[in-house]
Amino acid sequence: MAGLVPAILFTRGKKMRGSRPRMMKLSMTSSLRSKLVTALLLAPAGLFFVFLLLVPLAVVLLFSFGERAPAGGYVPAFTLQNYMDLPARGKAFFNTLTLAPLGTLLTALFAFPMAYFLAVRTSPKWRIALLILVMAPFWTSQLLRYYAWMIILGNKGLPSWLAMVGLTDVRIINTPWAVLIGAVYGYLPLMVPPIYVSLEKLDKRLLEASADLGATPTRTFLQVTLPLALPGVATGSMLVFILLMGDYILPQFLGGGKVFFIGNALVDLFLQSRNWPFGAAVSVALVAIMFVTIYFYMRFVLSKSDTRRAALV
Amino acid sequence: MTKHPDHISAEKFLAELRRFQKGSVTRRHFLGVTGLGLATAVLSTAMPGLRPRKAYAGLSGTLNVTTWPNYFSQENYDDFTKKTGVPINVNVFGSNEEMLAKLQAGSTGWDVLVPTNYTISTYKGLDLIEPLDLKLFPSYDPAQQDPRFLGPGTIDGVTYAVPKDWGTTGFIVNTKSTTENPVSWKDFFAATQGPLSGKVTVHDYQLTTIGSAAKSLGYSFNTVDPKELAEVEKLLIATKPHLFGITSDYQPAMRNGDAAMAMCWTNDAAQLHRDLPEMSYRLGKDGGEIWVDHYAVIKGAPNRDAAYAFLDFILTPEINAKEIEAHGTPTPDARVIKLLPKDILENPILYPAADQLSVLEYGAAETLTNPARAELMARFKSA
Amino acid sequence: MNHSPSVIEFRKVTKRFGDVVAVADNDLAVKAGEFLSILGPSGCGKTTSLRMMAGFEQPSSGEVFIRGENVTGVPAYRRPVNMVFQHYALFPHLSVADNVSYGLRQRNPKPARAEIDRAVDEALAMVRLEGYGKRRSYELSGGQQQRVALARALINRPAVLLLDEPLAALDRKLRRDMQIELQNLQRDVGITFLLVTHDQEEALSMSDRVCVMREGRIVQTGSPRELYDQPVNRYVADFVGKTNFFSGPTGAEVLSIRPEQIEIAANVNALPEGLMARLPVKVLNRIFLGEHTEYVVASDKLGEFMVMAPRKSEREAGVYDIGDMIAAGWRAEAERILPNT
């Protein structure tokens, strides 16, 4: 109510001067007010975006054109040398750009049946409990969990059990395979919920309609369930892919330092050799690659699934 | 399941982990490789009940000490607070490079720093630490220190840092899982590429990994000569497929039997040997690293008075002896050595024979800032 | 081979969900080419019956035959019937054309692209949606979605088209139009339609035959006229059209008289000749319904009952006001004695 007062006063003032019709003025002031309210509501998010995202990104971009100080750090300059040196981390880019998508794919392959089981095959009274169990590993320290995997995948773990069935000399720990296993394990809790949500939303009558029209269960899954769950798969994959692209702890622990990701290159550049400008250039390249990858990925996903649904998830 | 004598129990392993989580595993261990150091554990000893009578007049505020994990006696720090009324904030880091990066990035509020020998000249050059006023901590007596450890802290006759304790970088061999008997870095790399293939780790640290490889080829631990570095690179890249891992956190692999040999620091060696007597620590006959950690005061320290009071307190022989007993790293102070129990003094891992030490080198400041070594390490790790 | 003139047949079909008996020991035969409705309130088992025909549910006991073949236990995707779902269940990720062609594309071997396209065009033309093929289902109105669902089912030329409350989601006017359209469509394509509804008007107006269900059992099956004129019991009479019930002396039977078969006049003498009953009544309420007017009247002997006066009679006899004392009566053939069940 209080908010109406200025609007009415404003209208009166105008009216005395005998200008435009009253209704128009009222709507104009209220639209002005709603714009102001919108601006105020968006301000925290906007400030967050600018100061915690754009400003750091701008600083990184600025650093990437600078030079390394003799004792490490940054001195202002304008050089493209850091970008020309990028091939020196080509192997790290290659490792990341092959293992991160592969890890994401594997995680999705493991997460989908779990989410499907939870959303379709589990009675509602067990669903919440099981979903919480999926998330449970997040309650303990990530390092602790990776240490446990170091034992499981270590030579006294899985390989020694494989040896009992005749598969000798299998090496898992400190190989890319260990990193992939760790990725599936570590990121499953991020992948399952979005797929679960999209499967749970799925109208079961659509599956009946498909069967009614002659589609076998397999074809129904491929032609109805999967496309309609795609937005959830896309969301989960995006989350996992982004985190995996920047991960350095996982390759350090389960790759034993022999599987070198961009994240590891960045840790070394910023914390060991303190070559900040080169580190900044590597970061910029990583952000650019991620941006382009995600852009094309989203376009692909949107074209494959119903646009409106995909945009909502 | 058969019982592996070289295999620690899951319980014990978890206990180790818990210690790690509390910030008490060995120094450069983990935080360094994970980069978590910057965000770490600020262990506060500030306990409200401990603010007592002031023995040191005029002291107030909090003291910020930046050091390595498991590198101090909590009891000593509590006593300092009791005496002075000044609580201590402990910041722990994983590597010298990280500490330096943090200081270079800007104001930290730190007062006391624990730098390793080869970084001191860099800190001095960047004007990050102050020349020490020895009159302000009379408990420190230069005459009582082993002279070989006094060099790095003194630049152009001015003392910038005083020795805290020292150690070596060698390698540890599990004598139960191999009959190989490497005694030099040359042996180390030969065994890695030969009979111990797949069972060896080297540090995820350019100084020691490149330095030790250089020693095996007969070059200086600190070489930055391009031709020599090219040979080191060839050796390391040829060795990589035979390595179990490139990690500074090698205790788990050694303990559970994944690794039979590891590049190793004194502290880790002492801990491994204490629990598993078959762990044999060796210094390379062809050389290697000796290191000494120091106390230094940050230039413009917010609590400079308390910093000097802390140095005076902690370097008092009786107190320093408790410090050494707590973390087990050798001291260069003769007065403290007299107070130490026999088992520490007679442990050859902590106090090796003098002739073994004579071939060791300090890491040089040059290697810390040399881009060629950093790039070599990156190529080695990503190969 | 067991040949039968029925397209779908239930033989002693029972369906239990736990302790609840949804369908109890039913026999039902749907004749080729007819439009049959299953009518009943919610929970009477009509939808379960439909789902057992489609193959979404399997009977607990009894057998289901389609075109004389025992399909008991055969899953939905192998039955030659198609369904129009209550809320259409169109695939939101597919265009209208892809929805319509869905059934053809499941066939093995898959028909040629051109053949599918032609069939889709024909199907869309049949439901008057030419040119809508590229649209998404959510871009269409309720009535249009309904027609897409019809096209999607009919393109497969099913033995029977099953319709599950297909008009329930539409507004009243549109529902009327669709009723006519469905009837025309059924006549044009010559496919058997089986519709499930709780709306008696819908069932009576469209169907050749209606099957009334109650608590899992079929109560009566017959043409709409048979059900209306010769209901087997009070339940059917009550469900199919409006009627007045007057209790008999024992309570085991009731007298049913349809309101439109009761005549009214200003007084007893003004009632036509040949009536079996003649009563003075008082007008309690009057509702104008357009083509006729509904009165509620009360007599001393029989209590309140309803009378439907056609517009035509009003023109002759005029309109009565609430509180008027008038007369009502009916012929002998209007009376129907029914079991009170």
Cis peptide before C109 (omega within 30 of 0): yes
Cα atoms found within 13 Å of the Cα of residue C125, Cβ hemisphere only: 8
Q: How many CA atoms lie within 13 A of A25 on its CB side?
A: 18
Round the average pLDDT of chain B to a whole number and report it: 85
Query: Pairing mode, if any, of strands C160-164 and C192-197?
Result: parallel
Residue located via tokens 């995996």: A244
Confidence class for position A27, pLDDT limits 50, 70, 90? low
Tell me which residue in A211, A224, A305 faces C76 most closely, judged by beta carbons.
A211
Most C CBs within 10 Å: which of A123, A212, A226, A308, as the mutation test of the C interface? A212
A9 pLDDT higher than 60? no
pLDDT at B35: 36
Cβ contact C103–A228 (<8 Å): no
- CA–CA dist B131, B162 (Å, integer): 11
pLDDT at residue B56, rounded to an integer: 66
pLDDT top residue among C3 and A38: A38
- Closest-CA distance, A171 to chain B, in angstroms, reads 9
DSSP label at C334?
G
Assign a CATH topology to domain C242-339: OB fold (Dihydrolipoamide Acetyltransferase, E2P) (2.40.50)
Q: What is the 3-state secondary structure (H, E, C) of B204-221?
A: CCHHHHHHHHHHHCCCCC
Backbone torsion region of residue B239, taken as left when φ is above 0, otherwise alpha when ψ lies between -120 and 50, otherwise beta: alpha
Interchain proximity A209–C89, CB inside 8 Å: yes
Q: Is the pLDDT of residue B331 over 60?
A: yes
Residues of chain A found within 8 Å of residue C153, distances taken between Cβ atoms: 212-213
Class of domain C6-236: alpha beta
Report phi then psi at B360, rounded to 5: -80, 155
- CATH 3.40.50.300 in chain C, residue ranges: 6-236
- CB atoms near residue A313 (< 10 Å): 17
| Amino acid B277: pLDDT | 94
State chain A's mean pLDDT as an integer.
85
Contact criterion met (CB < 8 Å) for C76 and A212: yes
pLDDT at A310 over 80: no
CA angle (C208 as vertex; C202, C214 as ends), nearest 5: 60
Test C77 with A308 for CB contact under 8 angstroms. Answer: no
Question: What pLDDT does A72 receive?
Answer: 83
Helices C113-126 & C172-189, crossing angle to 10 degrees? Answer: 130
Substitution target in B33, B93, B196 with the highest count of A β-carbons within 10 Å is B33
Alpha-carbon distance B375 to nearest alpha carbon in chain A (angstroms): 8
Which pLDDT score, from 0 to 100, does residue B59 have?
87
The residues near B43 (Cβ < 8 Å, ≥ 6 apart) are: B23, B89, B90, B91, B92
* Inter-chain residue contact A268 with B4, CB threshold 8 Å: no
Report the pLDDT averaged over residues A56-72: 91
A82-141 per-position pLDDT tens digit: 999 999 999 999 999 999 999 999 999 999 999 999 998 888 889 889 988 988 888 888
Q: Does A306 touch chain C if contact means CB atoms closer than 8 Å?
A: yes
Of C77, C85, C138, the CB nearest to A214: C77
> Is pLDDT at C335 greater than 50 in this prediction?
yes
User: Is A203 in the C-facing interface, judged by CB distances under 8 Å?
Assistant: yes
Q: Quick check: A156 and B4 in contact, CB under 8 A?
A: yes
Does the pLDDT at position B3 exceed 70?
no
Q: Spell out which residues of chain C touch residue A224, defining contact as CB-CB under 8 Å.
A: 91, 93
A224–C107: do the CB atoms touch at under 8 Å? Answer: no
Residues of C in contact with A227 (CB under 8 A): 93
pLDDT at A120: 86
Q: Determine the distance in angstroms separating the CA of A252 from the nearest CA of chain B, rounded to an integer.
A: 7
Across the strands, what pairs with B281? B172
* Closest CA in chain C for residue A217: C77
Residue-level pLDDT at A22: 46
Are A258 and B381 an interchain contact pair (Cβ–Cβ within 8 Å)? yes
CA distances from C119 to A216, B172, B191, C155 (A): 22, 79, 76, 7
Q: Do C91 and A209 touch (CB under 8 A)?
A: yes
Tell me, what's the pLDDT at B16?
52
Provide the ipTM. 0.85
Share of chain A above pLDDT 70, in %: 87
Which of A205, A213, A220 shows the shortest C-beta gap to C82? A213
Which domains does chain B show, CATH number per domain? Answer: 18-166+291-345 (3.40.190.10), 168-290+352-382 (3.40.190.10)
Q: How far is CA B151 from the centre of its chain?
A: 18
Counting as contact any 3 or more CB pairs under 8 A, the partners of A are B, C
Cβ separation B101–A72 shorter than 8 A: yes
Residue C198 has pLDDT above 70, yes or no: yes
CB contact under 8 A, A214 and C55: no
Q: d(Cα B382, Cα A53) in Å, to the nearest integer?
A: 30
Q: What is the pLDDT of residue A28?
A: 54
pLDDT grade for B57, boundaries at 50, 70 and 90:
low
CATH 2.40.50.100 region(s) of chain C? 242-339
CA torsion, points B328, B329, B330, B332, in degrees to nearest 10?
-130
Q: Mean pLDDT for chain C?
A: 91
Is the CB of B37 less than 8 angstroms away from the CB of A155? Answer: no
- Structure-token pair, residue A133: 């169990």
Confidence of residue A38 (pLDDT cuts 50, 70, 90): confident
Mean pLDDT of A210-237: 93
Which chain B positions have a beta carbon within 8 Å of A277's beta carbon? Answer: none
Distances (CA, A) of C39 to B115, C16, C96, C200, C318: 89, 20, 31, 7, 38
pLDDT of the residue at C330: 94
| Chain C residues near any Cβ of chain A (below 8 Å) | 54-56, 75-78, 81-83, 85, 87, 89-93, 102-103, 106-107, 136, 138, 152-153, 156
At A300 the pLDDT is 84
**What average pLDDT does range B236-262 have in this prediction?**
94
Instruction: Enumerate the residues of chain B whose CB falls inside 8 A of the CB of residue A147.
Output: 13, 17, 252
Residue of A147, A154, A268 lying closest to B17 (CB–CB): A147
Cβ-Cβ pairs closer than 8 A, A with B, add up to 126
Task: With CB atoms and an 8 Å threshold, state whether B381 touches A257.
Answer: yes
Residue C78, φ and ψ in degrees, nearest 5: -110, 20
Question: Is pLDDT above 80 for C3?
Answer: no
For chain A, how are helix, strand and coil distributed in percent, rounded to 5?
Answer: 80, 0, 20
Which residues of chain A make contact with C82, given a CB cutoff of 8 A? 212-213
Q: In this complex, which chains have at least 3 CB pairs below 8 Å with chain C? A: A
Q: What is the mean pLDDT of residues C171-183?
A: 87
State how far residue A108 is from chain C, nearest Cα, in angstroms: 21
Q: What is chain B's alpha carbon radius of gyration, rounded to the nearest angstrom?
A: 21
Residue B94 in this model has a pLDDT that exceeds 90: no
pLDDT at residue A42, rounded to an integer:
87
